Amino acid sequence: MNARLAALVAVVAAAAFLSLDSRRRGGDDVRVLEIGRRRDVELIAVDDGSGTVGPESLAFDGAGEGPYTGASDGRVLRWLPLERRWVEHSSAVEPHLLDSCRGSKDPKREHECGRPLGLKFNNKTGELYVADAYLGLRVVGRGDNVSRPLVPQWPGSSFTFANGVEIDHETGAIYFTETSTRFQRRQFLNIVISGDNSGRLLKYDPKNNKVQVLASGLCFPNGLVMSSDGSYLLLAETTTGKILRYWLKTPKASTIEEVAQLPGFPDNIKMSPRGGFWVGIHAKRGKIAEWSISYPWLRKLVLKIPAERIQRISSLMTGFGRQVIALRLSEDGKIMEVMSVHGAARKVFKSISEVEERDGSLWIGSVLSPFLGLYRL
């Protein structure tokens, strides 16, 4: 492949994938939260002395303590706010292997050390459920520091890419997403560009230790959250930019409907105590993404470019203008609130995974950043 052409495609792809203008804000009744200076938001480094990064998802335990977050080296860390420090909560590997993983930022080691993404506490038992991108659905018992696998193998294929997780506190059922049966997490760009639709929504029943496939043929199923009444799940389908509703109850049970079409790639979803739900926006859904899915020749060309190169170039092209990093939507899909960054803050928040609203503040997570953001409403 011609080197100049490859570089051109990389630049265009990066610009299309990884910049999201805040012009599409909705009507006059949409509240806009602007972050322009670093002092507008508190940055809490996740480094506990090890050098780890990437607090992709957040969870608070039944007592409201935390947040807890997964990191790039496979560990789950817990924030102690009064002491202003992180402590190690758990990992997926045994203690004698943990030292070699601690502090790792290398995606090529994630299959060894694990990569925790979605986190959710069972408030009745105190157990923490972890969707590990490489090691599957896992649980950390109360007082334990090593997680154990719940589903060593999933129906129809061997494990590849677990992502979001949610709990029905009434029944104890665990819902989780498998982003792809073809690609692993480190190949996430391939999932988007190729239009891969091997993702699934699954249900694990701890009473009989069985997994049920609720929906298949999904394009990068990602974050997952249950409605307050337990009647449905909201699911982010990253490649298509859609928020989907999977009905658990009512006459619509077992059906899926579209709730919203977003201008970017949605990541995690969290319910807001003020109504509706927050969606972290990882990046813009640009024309190159759409064309790569529609035109095989362009798809093949882009897939030949190393993901690291696209990401490096993108870092040079995301420091201008405003960027929407999160949206709060009503349960029928209308935009209620927009969070955007510009100026110095734009360089800090390049890619957002999750926004968790709690006690009048927004906790901001990122799979790439070395810190959490804390924005006070």
User: What is the distance between the alpha carbons of residues 62 and 64, in angstroms, rounded to a whole number?
Assistant: 5
- 141-166: pLDDT as tens digits: 999 999 999 875 555 555 679 999 99
Q: What is the CATH number of the domain that holds 110?
A: 2.120.10.30
Q: Is the pLDDT of residue 320 over 70?
A: no
How far are the Cα atoms of 16, 231, 265, 273 from residue 279, in angstroms, in the given order?
Answer: 20, 20, 10, 14
What is the average per-residue pLDDT within 293-310? 70
Q: Beta 371-376 vs 42-45: how paired, if at all?
A: antiparallel
339 pLDDT tier (thresholds 50, 70, 90): very high
Note down the domain range covering 133. Answer: 3-376
Q: pTM for this structure? A: 0.88
Average pLDDT value for the chain? 86
- 254-283: pLDDT as tens digits: 999 999 999 889 999 999 999 999 999 998
Q: Give the pLDDT confidence score for residue 290 in this predicted structure.
A: 65
- Non-local (6+) Cβ contacts of 185 within 8 A are 107, 110, 115, 117, 133, 134, 161, 179
Strand order in the sheet with 42-45: 42-45, 371-376, 361-365, 354-358
Retrieve residue 297's tokens: 């020749």
- Please tell me the total count of domains within the chain: 1
